Structure 1
């Protein structure tokens, strides 16, 4: 890894109920996740353009994935503004842990607890 490459190339958000988690993320982001099984893992992939060089990831339900409020935090892209997304979180079964907070010239962040018990960050410029 060097400064000319992405430091993140893939992320996985653990789930205990892939269907519930998929519904939650599809609802709050107004997207469609593509579901697939890989060996002992059930996965739901976030939208991506293969070969674009942009990082992406999936929801994963497997014996090796345990939801947590601790550890690494993934920040999902909420551009152009996170307000619409945050307004859907609680109705979709999640909880706002840290409300929209300015980080100066770098935009805004918020933390939510998803339906699986993960702390997930959200970032937008507005």
Structure 2
């Protein structure tokens, strides 16, 4: 098994605000399409590409939270720049850049929706 995780969904209370936050913080273009449940998803990467993919969900039944599972985005070599853009785009840093031995650095942030997410950089 290549990856144990193959999909994640981040809940949003303001779908467009969440798209704005992640597209600016990560510096990516996101793709929005309807989902089978009648709501919309905005994808971080093309779900047809190999590897882990995920989306921001507009489903109001799924509530943002800073408790529970934390996903980490791979931002290899860009952690400092990413953290600068977090506050500029309405989020805040919960745990500053932290060295994790030979595995690089991590940081935890609260996004504009109230989700706790992590960033990891091997360098």
Among residues 5, 9, 12, which one is paired with 1:8 in the alignment? Answer: 5
Q: Which TM-score applies when normalising by structure 2?
A: 0.93
RMSD: 1.3
**8 Å CA contact 2:13, 2:60 repeated in 1:** no
**8 Å CA contact 1:81, 1:125 repeated in 2:** no
Cα distance in 1 between the residues matched to 2:87 and 2:62:
24
> Greater shift after overlay, 37-46 or 88-97?
37-46
Q: Tell me what 1:70 maps to.
A: 67
Cα distance in 1 between the residues matched to 2:33 and 2:47:
17
**8 Å CA contact 2:10, 2:64 repeated in 1:** yes
Cα distance in 2 between the residues matched to 1:32 and 1:80:
19
Structure 2 alignment gaps of length 5 or more: none
Q: How many residue pairs get matched? A: 122
Change (3 A) 1:49 1:17: closer
Q: Deviations over 1:30-88 (max 9, x none)?
A: 10110112133221100247242x11100001033100000000001111231110010
- Is 1:108 matched with 2:109? no
**8 Å CA contact 1:43, 1:60 repeated in 2:** yes
Structure 1 alignment gaps of length 5 or more: none
Change (3 A) 1:21 1:105: same
**How far is the alpha carbon of 1:17 from its aligned partner?**
1.0
